[in-house]
């Protein structure tokens, strides 16, 4: 198992879960959650960072202007994405605002979790270095053609856009090289469920071993 960060006071087993866009991270983590596992999802936290009422959202409006405000006062996320897509200064500013908040909330959620082990799900687990918070990494993997097909279908967008996003992410090979465990999500949802069930049993045993070592 990987050595933990010294500042991570969490003594529970933390399983990191990652995968490329549309690989099935949410589908897989939902199945772990159904087994009673506490899931900390950095994608959800990143969305919460800029939800209505958040002090960070006020800073976004101050920086980018009120044109990003929808009628109900919430953020026009599509407009923000478009604004930062080709503007590296704005992108960096936004990341420096959101990332520390997500990190703080991630550590808080990990500390508050009560299940025998915790799943930390993040599309950028490896790239962000958050993998060092985990004891073990499970990668959701599938061939690029299925990944593109499912993502395009889900988001109703162009395959070329999905391909571009895949190219910006860590390569499949580099991601797999870091994996301790693998979920092959090229099959149907029953196959995914079977793999999650089997890993869940494995992680429960590892959690017990770790708890006995403390």
Residue 161, interface with ligand ATP (CB under 6 A)?
Answer: no
Which runs of consecutive H residues, i.e. helices, occur in the chain? 25-34, 42-49, 55-64, 77-85, 88-112, 144-155, 159-168, 172-177, 189-213
Residue with tokens 């395009």: 152
Q: Which is nearer to ligand ATP, 24 or 116 (CB)?
A: 24
Q: Which is nearer to ligand ATP, 162 or 207 (CB)?
A: 162
Q: Determine which residue in the list 45, 46, 123, 134 makes contact with ligand ATP, applying CB under 6 A.
A: 123
Cβ–Cβ under 8 Å, residues 34 and 151: no
Q: Which of 10, 14, 19, 199 binds ligand ATP (CB under 6 A)?
A: 19
Q: In whole angstroms, how close is the CB of 24 to ligand ATP at the nearest point?
A: 4
- Which tokens hold the place of 124? 């950028």
Write down the least CB distance from residue 102 to ligand ATP, Å.
15
CA distances from 46 to 51, 55, 128, 187, 190 (A): 9, 14, 13, 29, 30
State the minimum distance, in angstroms, from the CB of residue 191 to ligand ATP. Answer: 7
Under the binding rule (CB under 6 A), the answer on residue 70 touching ligand ATP is no
| 189 near ligand ATP (CB under 6 A) | yes
Least CB distance to ligand ATP at residue 114 (A): 24
Rounded distance between C-alpha atoms, residue 64 and residue 60, angstroms: 6
Minimum Å gap between C-beta 145 and ligand ATP is: 13
Residues 21-50 that bind ligand ATP (CB under 6 A): 21-27, 43
C-alpha–C-alpha distance, residues 31 and 131, integer Å: 21
Compute the half-sphere exposure of residue 166: CA atoms within 13 Å on the CB side of its CA.
21
Q: Round to whole Å and give the CA distance between 199 and 193.
A: 10
| Residues engaged in binding ligand ATP (CB under 6 A) | 19, 21-27, 43, 123, 150, 154, 185, 187-189, 192
């Amino acid at each position: 198992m990987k050595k933990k960060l010294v500042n991570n006071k969490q003594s529970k087993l933390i399983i990191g879960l990652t995968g490329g866009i549309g690989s099935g991270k949410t589908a897989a983590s939902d199945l772990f959650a159904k087994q009673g596992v506490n899931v900390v999802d950095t994608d959800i936290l990143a969305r919460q960072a800029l939800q209505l009422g958040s002090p960070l959202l006020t800073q976004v409006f101050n920086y980018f202007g009120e044109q990003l405000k929808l009628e109900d006062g919430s953020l026009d996320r599509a407009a923000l994405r478009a604004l930062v897509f080709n503007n590296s200064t704005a992108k960096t500013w936004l990341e420096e605002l959101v990332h520390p908040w997500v990190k703080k909330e991630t550590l808080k959620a990990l500390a508050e979790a009560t299940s025998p082990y915790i799943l930390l799900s993040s599309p950028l687990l490896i790239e962000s270095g958050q993998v060092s918070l985990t004891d073990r990494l499970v990668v959701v993997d599938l061939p690029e053609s299925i990944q593109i097909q499912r993502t395009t279908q889900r988001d109703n967008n162009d395959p070329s856009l999905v391909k571009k996003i895949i190219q910006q992410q860590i390569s499949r090979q580099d991601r797999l090289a870091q994996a301790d465990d693998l979920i092959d999500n090229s099959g149907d949802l029953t196959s995914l469920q079977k793999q999650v069930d089997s890993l869940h049993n494995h992680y429960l045993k590892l959690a017990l071993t770790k708890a006995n070592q403390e």
